[in-house]
Amino acid sequence: MKKTISIVFLCIVIQSFGQKNIFKKDLITPKNYYTEINFDFISEKIIVPVIIENKTYRFLLDTGAPNLISEKLQNAIKTTSIKSINIKDSSNKQNSLEVVSIPQITFGNVIFKNCPALVDKSKSNLIFDCFEIDGFIGSNMLQKSIVQIDLKEKIIRLTDAKKKLTLNKKNATKLYLIGGQKSPYIWINLKGETNAREQLLIDTGMKGFYDLSLKNFGILQKNNIFKVNNKGFGSKSIGLFGAADNNRHYRVTADTFKVNNTIFKNVVTETTNDNNSRIGAEILKYGMVTIDFLNKKFYFNSYKPTIDLQEKVLGFSPTIINNKLVVGIVWDEELKKVISFGDEIIKLNTLDVGSIPVCDFITAKALYNKNDTIELTIKNSEGLLKTVNVKKTLPK
C-alpha cells in the first residue's frame, strides 16, 4: 500500500495516428540473448542506464510509450530523420513530433540497431528535468523481447527465450499488442454490484496503481461497477504536452479488481481524460511482472493472493501549473466552499512551498503528508490568503 499520496500524476502515454510501421521501421533486434539490468525506482519511475555512442544515459522504461529522446540528446548523437507524425499524450492532447532513427542503443548487454524514436523539442519537460533523464525506452523497442521487472531485487531481466526465466503459466494471461508502437494491453476483472471486464494498458511509465478513463467509466458505470465517492471539476494529470484540460471527474472505489489470479480489494482511483484505462508501476510493489511481448503473455507473480489497497485520501488533488503547486481537483463538498481549482498552494503545514523546487514534489523528495491532517495555506485568484485544515479520510 502507498505510504504517501501523489502530488501529481505524471504519466505519459503516446498514441500515434495511422503509423503502423513507423515505430518498427528497420529496427534490428538480436537473437538468443539474456541480460540483467539494475534500475532505480524513483517516485514509481523505472530509471535505467543505456549506452549510445559509448556514453551512458539515463532513460525511463515506459511501456506506455514508444522510444522518446530529448532534443538535447538528439543534438549530441547521430540520428537520421524519418518523418514527423501526429501524437496524442496521456491527457489526450495532440501535437506533431519528429521521428528519428538511432543507429544503436545498448540496453544491458543487448544491442538494438536502427531504433526509431520520437524527439521531444519542448523547452521544458518536467519528466526529463525532474528525473534527470535523456529519453524513454518504449514498447516498440521491446516488441520482440520478454521483460521481467523484479522490484525486490531492482533488476530487469531481458531476453528472447522464456526458458531462461522462472515463469508459471498459471500466473499468465493473454497479452494484446495494439497499434504501431505495440502497446501492451491485458483484460482484468472488476466486481461491484455486477461483474465486468476492462482492457488496460500496462504502463510502466505511470505512477500509481490504476487510472480509469472517463470513457470506460461511462460504459462500466451503466452496470454500477464502481462506488462513486466524490465528484469534482478541474485537472490533475500532466502529459507530454502539458496539463490536462479541465473536466468533470470522479473518485471511485472498485470493490474487487482481479489481475490474473490476484485479487485487489478496495481499489480507489480517479478518472482521467485519456481514452485508455491503465495499470501503473505501483503493481510492481505487490509482485513480479513479466511482459512477454514475443509470445504475447503477461505474468504476474504476486506476493499475496489477496491484497487490500484501502487507504485514507485527501479531499483534494494537487497538480502543477506554470511550475507552481496548485489545487487541481477538489473532491470534498465542504472543502469546495473554501478552495478551488487553480488556487496556489503557499504552505503545507510549516513548509514554505515557494522555497521548494517543484521537482522535489514530483520526485517525492518533499513529503508533507505523513500525518492525517494538513494545514493548507492557499492564495486564490483574487490574491487572498486562506488557511484550512484538510484531513485524510477513508473514501465514503
For 166-205, the pLDDT digits (tens) are: 999 999 999 999 988 899 999 999 999 999 999 999 999 9
Rounded Cα–Cα distance for residues 289 and 59 (Å): 19
Quote the pTM value: 0.91
Local confidence pLDDT in tens for the 396 residues of the chain: 333 334 444 444 555 544 557 777 778 888 999 999 999 999 999 999 999 999 999 999 999 999 999 999 999 999 999 988 877 665 566 677 899 999 999 999 999 999 999 999 888 888 999 999 999 999 999 999 999 999 999 999 999 999 999 999 999 999 999 988 899 999 999 999 999 999 999 999 999 999 999 999 999 999 999 999 999 998 776 656 556 667 899 999 999 999 999 999 999 999 998 889 999 999 999 999 999 999 999 999 999 999 999 999 999 999 988 889 999 999 999 999 999 999 999 999 888 998 989 899 888 876 655 678 889 999 999 999 999 999 999 987
pLDDT of residue 1: 35
Q: Are 267 and 205 in contact (CB under 8 A)?
A: no
pLDDT of residue 246: 75
Query: Into which CATH architecture does domain 316-391 fall?
Result: Roll (2.30)
Report the alpha-carbon angle 161-167-168, nearest 5. 140
Rounded Cα–Cα distance for residues 140 and 27 (Å): 9
Rounded Cα–Cα distance for residues 193 and 210 (Å): 20
The listed CATH number (3.40.190.10, 2.40.70.10, 3.20.20.80, 3.40.50.450) that belongs to domain 165-308:
2.40.70.10
pLDDT of residue 10: 46
Residue 32, number of CB atoms within 10 A of its CB? 8
Dmax over Cα atoms in the chain, in whole Å? 64
| Per-domain boundaries in the chain | 9-163, 165-308, 316-391
Do domains 9-163 and 165-308 share one topology? The answer is yes
Cα 334 to its chain centre, rounded Å, is: 30
Domain topology for 9-163: Cathepsin D, subunit A; domain 1 (2.40.70)
Rounded Cα–Cα distance for residues 396 and 391 (Å): 14
pLDDT of residue 243: 61
Report the alpha-carbon angle 320-10-188, nearest 5. 140
pLDDT of residue 126: 87
What letter represents residue 323's amino acid? N
pLDDT of residue 89: 64
pLDDT of residue 237: 64
CA atoms within 13 A on the CB side of 173: 18
